[in-house]
Amino acid sequence: MKAVIAEIITIGDEILFGHIVDTNSAWMGTELTKIGVRVKQITSISDSAEHIVQALDAARTRADIILMTGGLGPTRDDLTKHVLTAYFHTTLKLHEPSLADVTEIFRHRGREVTELNRQQAFLPEACTPVRNVLGTAPGMWFEQEGKVFVSMPGVPFEMKRMMTDIVLPQLKAYFRTPHIIHKVVQTVGIAESMLADKLEEWEYSLPEHIKLAYLPHLGGVRLRLTGTGTDAALLDQELQAEVNKLAHIIPNNIFAYGEVKLEEAVGQLLKEQGLTIATAESCTGGYLAHKITSVSGSSAYYRGSVIAYHNEVKIRELHVKPETLQLHGAVSEATVREMAEHVREKFGTDIGVATSGIAGPDGGTAEKPVGTIWIAYADKDRTVTRLLHFNKDRLLNIEYTGTAVLNLVRQSLTAAVEE
Amino acid sequence: MKAVIAEIITIGDEILFGHIVDTNSAWMGTELTKIGVRVKQITSISDSAEHIVQALDAARTRADIILMTGGLGPTRDDLTKHVLTAYFHTTLKLHEPSLADVTEIFRHRGREVTELNRQQAFLPEACTPVRNVLGTAPGMWFEQEGKVFVSMPGVPFEMKRMMTDIVLPQLKAYFRTPHIIHKVVQTVGIAESMLADKLEEWEYSLPEHIKLAYLPHLGGVRLRLTGTGTDAALLDQELQAEVNKLAHIIPNNIFAYGEVKLEEAVGQLLKEQGLTIATAESCTGGYLAHKITSVSGSSAYYRGSVIAYHNEVKIRELHVKPETLQLHGAVSEATVREMAEHVREKFGTDIGVATSGIAGPDGGTAEKPVGTIWIAYADKDRTVTRLLHFNKDRLLNIEYTGTAVLNLVRQSLTAAVEE
């Protein structure tokens, strides 16, 4: 079976001038790979009619699928729609459902549709409009000589929603691709190189048609097994058998299977065990609470937080003893322990967690350099603390600390042993 | 003066498959723009000889400078050097200074040079080698028909060092480039289409050599003016004059000039005015606090927060009256007003802000659909509230609300009128 080839064309000066990093294409590359489509080239070009046509002409000589992003805004530097209208020898026509969507978005904001936004509902007659539920620019799907051309907005969340809901399923249906099955295993609390050491033997034993990818991110390492075959049921069984082997090798580092975030996995554990949680944050400054509450339905187990950026707040609101602060400092095991225990009492929850550290880039000392962070977990039986050492980057330190606390809660609720 | 045009070609499957995000090209785009070189296209291709030649042939029809990264490693899937040797009809020859560099790197690691790495010191005779002080793959500079081709490693820190020390200065010397100056104006609280309506007349009046770009992101719209000219000082004056005109058209929506985030601008205002702030969050669940504390040095003005996810917490910790909750509900002007006023008192700050709403995707009613959000600002003189209407996406609603609160603080501190 011949591989289906795609190319991505991003339109707009922002990427060329380096004002934004092209994260869209990486996301699209990942998603296309998942459905068995091979990306051959990514091309970033300027908002120029001539250049867009040149890129389309070149891409169609190599690819079956040409995906475009950008240049669909309402302003006059956005040319994509007009160029495509000419390219496919068609004309613009009002697309009533798109106008209804745009009108609804404006109605929801309590405003009248502007003339510029109304213009966005005029689409090339030759295209199948691709609905945009999150913005005012619809996408466009064209077919010509067995090739598919899709134009989407450059706004990442609009493009991703459109791809996920409509474009990827339609591409899968249009092109007959081999069965490709992915299984994702989510790990936390173990670095990529250590993981690779532990998995080496198993990885070498994988059959030819099953590949392993290490996908490290800020909160851990995702492992993705990709199998290719003609019998979907058999392939799924084979993959599951390998996942089971994996679970025996690193039982304590796997927090979920599939596209589940750590905060979702922890939320699920709390729900299952009927437990509630409260947070007391210093160095993470609300990020931990944000992580927990980013999960829909988190109000079932999350009560609230005290963010104590100032020592006075630690004393008054979290009943940290002034002598603890004086003797050990705000960044200390004693302080973070009291914070976790008292926030649990204060909010009447089963669990209290706390963070206190030096996020940086300033504020470090020889004894407690930037990146020194204490975290604590308290329940009715015990309080567990951990000392973390990170680096000089403020936002990374906040992020890593959030992950470490969530993992500490997970370990406590599953009796997992720390690696 | 004709603009000098560059194109960037990245070689390797990692970007195409979405395994890594192409941050190199954004960095190169920024640096090239700074020396007056305009990037016309960025092309990511696979490690295939045919594809590399095709990309080079296409790029040289459009550009004066062709910069390549990647494919210079020691293994056999790294083809760039061999393809360039054939492309420029030359042969490989040992380059003694490069061998000395490679040998030194290995000596430093306490190792002997491997044969594979020794091969990296063989370079095309027709090129000027570009020294790599951080790795084993030297760069290559070719000149042909007045065009410059440079091949560099894909490892970001090696490429950046090579560009900064050697390639950029040599390009500046080789090509006589016009001056290109960018000025960025940050706006908030006005949608792109409304902004475009307001700026239409001014935009049409811009001189030919000054271009305007709308760069919308989740927190607002960045406006970027780009001027091209031969006299840098004059050009800067002209751009500044246009920025000043802009400031007269939308005085209340501009929160900063240059690459400044809203939370940084608000932090700066608080610092300048010697004010402190505390937050009381319901629907934003810590995100607002996280935004504020993501700014280094925020402990100077930020005291802390109560995140009251549960009504009981609103009553006990924020002294919201039970009858307020009963009469008006948690998502109401009365509740959010009490939250802001009481958190201000509780933390002894000059300013208190609060959020309460239905972030979604569940929990909406006919009267208060998902995306209904109340925010409040309180200082010693007054309390200001706003009702916001967003959509069904939980994380977007949280993000937009954070921006709206920060903007409300900014408006209050600058006496800006809301649009």
The two tokens of residue A140 are 């466009």
What is residue B362's predicted lDDT score, i.e. its pLDDT? 86
Pick the CATH number of B262-414 from 3.40.640.10, 3.30.1450.10, 3.90.950.20, 3.40.47.10: 3.90.950.20
Question: Which of B15, B214, B293 to mutate to test binding with chain A, by most A CBs within 10 Å of its CB?
Answer: B293
Nearest to B58 among A31, A58, A303 (CB): A58
Condensed to tens digits (0 to 9), the pLDDT of residues A164-193 reads 999 999 999 999 877 788 899 999 999 887
Nearest CA in chain B to A292: B285
Cα–Cα separations (whole angstroms), residue B54 to A98, B73, B144, B191: 40, 21, 17, 42
Question: By CB neighbour count within 10 A (0-12 exposed, 13-18 middle, 19+ buried), where does A300 fall?
Answer: exposed
Task: Sort out which chain B residues have CB atoms less than 8 A from A286's CB and list them.
Answer: 279, 281, 286-293, 305, 307
The two tokens of residue B244 are 């000043």
The two tokens of residue A305 are 């937080």
Whether B231 and B179 have beta carbons less than 8 Å apart is answered as yes
Task: Sort out which chain B residues have CB atoms less than 8 A from A13's CB and list them.
Answer: 213
Nearest CA in chain A to B5: A16
Distance to chain A for B44, nearest Cα, Å: 5
Distance to chain A for B183, nearest Cα, Å: 12
- Residues in chain B, pLDDT under 50: 419
Nearest CA in chain B to A397: B294
Task: Sort out which chain A residues have CB atoms less than 8 A from B312's CB and list them.
Answer: 303, 348
What's the half-sphere exposure (Cβ side, CA atoms, 13 Å) at A186? 17
**Residue A393: is its pLDDT beyond 60?**
yes
Whether A296 and B193 lie within 8 Å, measured CB to CB: no
Whether A41 and B41 lie within 8 Å, measured CB to CB: no
Say how many C-beta atoms besides its own lie within 10 A of residue B104's C-beta. 12
Going by pLDDT thresholds of 50, 70 and 90, the confidence category of residue A137 is very high
Over residues A358-382, the mean pLDDT reads: 93
**Residue A95: is its pLDDT beyond 50?**
yes
Whether B304 and A310 lie within 8 Å, measured CB to CB: yes
| Interface size between A and B, measured as CB pairs under 8 A | 268
Nearest CA in chain A to B203: A76
A210 or B34, which is more confident? A210
Over residues A386-409, the mean pLDDT reads: 93
What is residue B1's predicted lDDT score, i.e. its pLDDT? 53
Which ipTM was obtained for this model?
A: 0.76
Whether A17 and B31 lie within 8 Å, measured CB to CB: no
Condensed to tens digits (0 to 9), the pLDDT of residues A98-113 reads 999 999 888 887 888 8
Whether A18 and B40 lie within 8 Å, measured CB to CB: no
Residue A114 DSSP class: P
Nearest to B395 among A294, A306, A394 (CB): A294
**Residue A272: is its pLDDT beyond 60?**
yes
Task: Sort out which chain B residues have CB atoms less than 8 A from A343's CB and list them.
Answer: none
How do beta strands B220-229 and B179-187 pair? antiparallel
Domain ranges, ordered by start, for chain A: 4-174, 180-257, 262-414
Number of helices and strands in chain B (H, E): 16, 17
CATH 1.10.10.10 fits A4-174, yes or no: no
The two tokens of residue B342 are 């009481």
What's the half-sphere exposure (Cβ side, CA atoms, 13 Å) at A162? 28
What is the rounded CA–CA span in Å between residue A149 and residue A108?
A: 32
Compute the mean pLDDT over every residue in chain A, rounded to the nearest whole number: 92
B179-257: which CATH topology? Alpha-Beta Plaits (3.30.70)
Condensed to tens digits (0 to 9), the pLDDT of residues A250-266 reads 999 999 999 899 999 99
Number of helices and strands in chain A (H, E): 16, 17
Residues near B78 by beta carbon (within 8 Å), at least 6 away in sequence: B47, B71, B72
Distance to chain B for A93, nearest Cα, Å: 21
Question: By CB neighbour count within 10 A (0-12 exposed, 13-18 middle, 19+ buried), where does A317 fall?
Answer: buried
Distance to chain B for A107, nearest Cα, Å: 10
The two tokens of residue B266 are 């608000």
Question: Which of B182, B263, B290, B296 to mutate to test binding with chain A, by most A CBs within 10 Å of its CB?
Answer: B290
What is the rounded CA–CA span in Å between residue B339 and residue B305?
A: 11
Residue A316 DSSP class: H
* Long-range Cβ contacts of B210-215 (<8 Å, 24+ apart): B210/B238, B210/B239, B210/B242, B212/A77, B213/A13, B213/A14, B213/A77, B214/A73, B214/A75, B214/A77, B215/A14, B215/A19, B215/A20
The two tokens of residue B229 are 């000219």
Helix or strand holding residue A50 (H, E): helix A49-62
**Residue A417: is its pLDDT beyond 60?**
no
Whether A16 and B290 lie within 8 Å, measured CB to CB: no
A180-257 and A262-414, same CATH topology: no
Whether A40 and B22 lie within 8 Å, measured CB to CB: no
Whether A369 and A363 have beta carbons less than 8 Å apart is answered as no
Query: What CATH class does A180-257 carry?
Result: alpha beta
What is residue A34's predicted lDDT score, i.e. its pLDDT? 83
What is residue B177's predicted lDDT score, i.e. its pLDDT? 75
Question: Which of A44, A261, A302, A342 to mutate to test binding with chain B, by most B CBs within 10 Å of its CB?
Answer: A44
What is residue B419's predicted lDDT score, i.e. its pLDDT? 44
